[in-house]
Structure 1
């Protein structure tokens, strides 16, 4: 049977609150350090910006396809998917791998290395600090029951199977703050902040992907759209309603 623990208020004052405050301060400091390390002369690639806007417009066309006449939809579809000069068509010889682009642009490689260092070094030092000073503490309790699957995530550093799963160790509290403060950082620093570790890890895992695949995928999605006019005889029905209102 799981044991119920009584948490000392000193743990809240000297472990839980300081750990949370330090994580927030480190995130804010890392944001400004990343801004200082970022190349001031770096400008967005016009080609990448253009491709992104084209993809957004093509997605809007697919979403609203049934609300425009069939003739207008076919004209726009040819404008995007035409294999001669369509905006979504990418010739095979023009596909450029992101890794090759990095090697051809040393500034891009240097900026990526700076971003990785600004993420890895503070995390390593903070984890070593937490592991040295706060290891083994039961820092908090979640106010709702959980299954045993959450034990390894919430009780890292505590080797007691009799403790209820809803109790959180200090080491697990560090990881929860590391990945759970995204909303707070977005509120303090704005949506496009440099402390979004989840998004940065996703970018690192997807590094080396061909950017032309997004255009090709959007082109395939637009090609399979079947137009079904959602407003048949809408003008006639609108005229009939107006006549009834006038009469």
Structure 2
């Protein structure tokens, strides 16, 4: 039978609140550090144009059911025509995305800086949490949960008799790490630097093959 615990208010004041505040401050600090580490080089107009074409093609696919079929087919031909389509890449001319990134030293350096600005703070923060706050039961979720949530909410606590709704300090760190994106969007704006790595991977073309997109994007 699961045991009910009485949480000390000192845990709230010295574990729960400090962890939340530190995670928010680290996210804000990483935002400004990422801004300082950004290169001031002017983006290649060709790359910007290609990115805008891909966005327009995705919007067309998303709105395919809201426009007449004839209009959709004409726009599809405009993008994927094998003679002069904007998304058509002749055979042998498609460049590997990773080779394209490493051919541009500025892009590779920006990626390395952003990875360092994300990995180093997270590593130091996790070491700090694991050293000072490991083993604490920091909070309780106000609704019942199934046993599948135990490994996610009670990381660092090896007691199967504790109710699943209790959250350990280490799990609270991970919940803040992955759940503060909305708060950062409110504080720093939608274009905050905490998502720069994911956005840069999308813009740089990882996993993207233009010769395939012109067919996959219009498979409707």
Contact persistence 2:97–2:208 (CA under 8 A): yes
Judged with a 3 Å threshold, the aligned counterparts in structure 2 of structure 1 residues 18 and 85 are, in CA distance, closer, same or farther, namely same
- Partners of 1:87 and 1:170 in 2: CA distance: 52
Report if the CA contact (8 A) 1:147-1:165 is conserved.
yes
After superposition, the Cα gap between the structure-2 partners of 1:8 and 1:203, relative to the gap in structure 1 and judged at 3 Å, is farther
- Partner SS, residue 94 of structure 1: coil
Question: How many residues are matched?
Answer: 215
TM-score w.r.t. length of structure 1: 0.77
The separation in 1 between residues aligned to 2:208 and 2:61, in whole angstroms, is 25
Structure 1 residues 129 and 90, CA, compared in 2 at 3 Å: closer, same or farther?
A: same
TM-superposed deviation, 1:80:
2.0
- The structure-2 alpha-carbon separation of the partners of 1:71 and 1:137, relative to structure 1 and needing over 3 Å to count, comes to closer
Residue 50 of structure 1 aligns to a residue whose secondary structure is helix
Assess, with a 3 A threshold, how the Cα gap between structure 1 residues 166 and 198 changes in structure 2: closer, same or farther.
farther
Q: Larger Rg: 1 or 2?
A: 1
Instruction: Please tell me whether the aligned partners of residues 102 and 109 of structure 1 are also in contact (alpha carbons under 8 angstroms).
Output: yes
Tell me the SS of whatever aligns to 2:92.
Answer: helix
- The structural deviation recorded for 1:97 is 1.4
How far off is 1:194 after superposition? 1.5
Per-residue deviation, 1:108: 1.0
What is the Cα-based RMSD across aligned positions, in Å?
5.8
- Per the TM alignment, residue 58 of structure 1 is displaced from its structure 2 partner at its CA by 3.0
Q: Is the 8 A contact 1:79 1:86 kept in 2?
A: yes
2:114–2:197 Cα contact (<8 Å) kept: no
Distance change in 2, residues 1:64/1:173 (3 Å): closer
